[in-house]
Structure 1
């Protein structure tokens, strides 16, 4: 599991849960006015970004737990009779109820913490018929190699040797041990 895989999994889940979105894709981070103008043509949209991480914590298996801060930026335009502010709030509300506890069907991803939402209203943006909300949450991701994996193959044969008669050239000195009868 990589953080890029996490972003893709979150987007896939949002796309399936909110089929009316025109766009749902990973994004590099926060938006400025120029970026918002550029992407507003893809609305209604949700752009998912990793905003940062918390302190990495080692776990006893050789793996690490990383608290990851994520954001889903909701961008809508006024279309038809539904004002952009109303449609953006509808999507934000849907995300707030969908995110908590989800691990996006990913191994090593713990259930998401409850989300919060923030209205990113701007008069300049609103005058263009565009609204934006940010829904943020934190999620723990376990990464690295587990030293205690149980899915490794079990040896079919087991041999024992005694020092100093071990290693290359001493294969004949090893004794086969009977495994499970």
Structure 2
């Protein structure tokens, strides 16, 4: 059974962390991050928390392999720092993620290229009281749970014939293009 749903959020977090060395916490989580979780969990800010929010099957393609779209989210939590407001820090991190995420496959062969990247500031009255800023960068990550074999290289050979000596009766008269002629 595929572990993709369990491992993908952390795999993404592991690739994001080196890009932003000032992020204190970058990890995969389960589910949506909101004010309630912010108040219950200890988060070292600034933080990026990566999660899968939804999985849905895409339009079927030819063949036995089924494809799915994962609704992904990177929740950004910031607090005021010396010389940088929480809102500015959150917006800066969101912009950096929006520039980085498109087309990423995260080193996962079962994933297609990330698309439909969006960002939104999640501002609520309760959040304003916490002195934190919360952003969500979301995207669609295509995937499959089936093993897709690597395509085999197809040999291509091109032959040249001259009319009227063409067709099955003249197959021995055809010359393969690129073939080194026999030297007599």
Q: TM-score category by the smaller chain?
A: 0.7 to 0.9
The answer to whether the aligner puts 1:24 opposite 2:26 as a matched pair is yes
The answer to whether the aligner puts 1:3 opposite 2:2 as a matched pair is no
What 5-or-longer segments of structure 1 have no aligned partner?
A: 152-181
**Structure 1 length as normaliser, TM-score?**
0.74
Kept in 2, the 8 Å contact 1:40–1:76? The answer is no
Residue of structure 1 equivalent to 2:104: 102
Deviation track 1:132-181 (CA, whole Å, cap 9, x = no partner) reads 001110011122134x5679xxxxxxxxxxxxxxxxxxxxxxxxxxxxxx
Query: Which secondary structure state, in structure 2, belongs to the residue aligned with residue 24 of structure 1?
Result: strand
Cα distance, 1:59 vs structure 2: 4.6
Deviation track 1:40-76 (CA, whole Å, cap 9, x = no partner) reads 6321101111111122555555322111110111000
Structure 1 residues 122 and 150, CA gap change in structure 2 (3 angstroms) = closer
Kept in 2, the 8 Å contact 1:40–1:130? The answer is no
Cα distance, 1:130 vs structure 2: 0.4
Query: Which secondary structure state, in structure 1, belongs to the residue aligned with residue 127 of structure 2?
Result: helix
Q: Partners in 1 of 2:59 and 2:7 — Cα distance?
A: 20
Provide the alpha-carbon RMSD of the alignment. 2.1
Structure 1 residues 39 and 95, CA gap change in structure 2 (3 angstroms) = farther
Cα distance, 1:101 vs structure 2: 0.6
Structure 1 residues 123 and 40, CA gap change in structure 2 (3 angstroms) = farther
Residue of structure 2 equivalent to 1:120: 122
Greater mean alpha carbon deviation, residues 97-106 or residues 56-65: 56-65
Cα distance, 1:32 vs structure 2: 3.7
Kept in 2, the 8 Å contact 1:99–1:114? The answer is no
Greater mean alpha carbon deviation, residues 34-43 or residues 44-53: 34-43
The answer to whether the aligner puts 1:46 opposite 2:48 as a matched pair is yes
Kept in 1, the 8 Å contact 2:25–2:43? The answer is no
Please give the residue correspondences for 1:58-73 in structure 2 after superposition, counting only pairs within 5 Å: 58-60=60-62, 62-73=64-75
**Structure 2 length as normaliser, TM-score?**
0.73
Higher relative contact order (CA 8 A, sep 6+): 1
Residue of structure 2 equivalent to 1:75: 77
Deviation track 1:79-108 (CA, whole Å, cap 9, x = no partner) reads 212111110111011111011111112112
Please give the residue correspondences for 1:80-99 in structure 2 after superposition, counting only pairs within 5 Å: 80-99=82-101
